[in-house]
């Protein structure tokens, strides 16, 4: 999965960019099941996300894994 695709899914589920820290780290915040979730997206654009990084970002989001299994 590409970073842009991951960010698109977050935004479709109400997450918004809260701040951009140094380098390629962006912090997104949204509400899932009444709980505020914060996701650190450690990359940008057309780069592929490494499996471990993807898993961590999915856990941070609180969204179901199935949302991120679509083919792009």
Does residue 26 surpass a pLDDT of 90?
yes
Which pLDDT score is estimated for 70? Answer: 63
Taking residue 57's Cβ as centre, other Cβ atoms within 10 Å add up to 23
Average confidence (pLDDT) over 7-22? 92
Does residue 72 surpass a pLDDT of 60?
no
User: Mean pLDDT in the chain?
Assistant: 91
State pLDDT tens for residues 27-57.
999 999 999 999 999 887 888 999 999 999 9
Q: Report domain extents, the chain.
A: 3-62
Helices 3-12, 51-61: inter-axial angle, 10-degree rounding: 10
CATH, range 3-62: 3.30.920
Which pLDDT score is estimated for 44? Answer: 78
């Amino acid at each position: 999965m590409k970073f842009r695709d991951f960010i698109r899914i977050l935004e479709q589920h109400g997450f918004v960019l809260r701040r951009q820290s140094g380098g390629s780290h962006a912090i997104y915040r949204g509400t899932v099941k009444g709980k505020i979730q914060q996701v650190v997206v450690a990359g940008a654009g057309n780069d592929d996300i490494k499996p471990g990084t993807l898993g961590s970002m999915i856990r941070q989001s609180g969204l179901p894994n199935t949302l991120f299994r679509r083919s792009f």
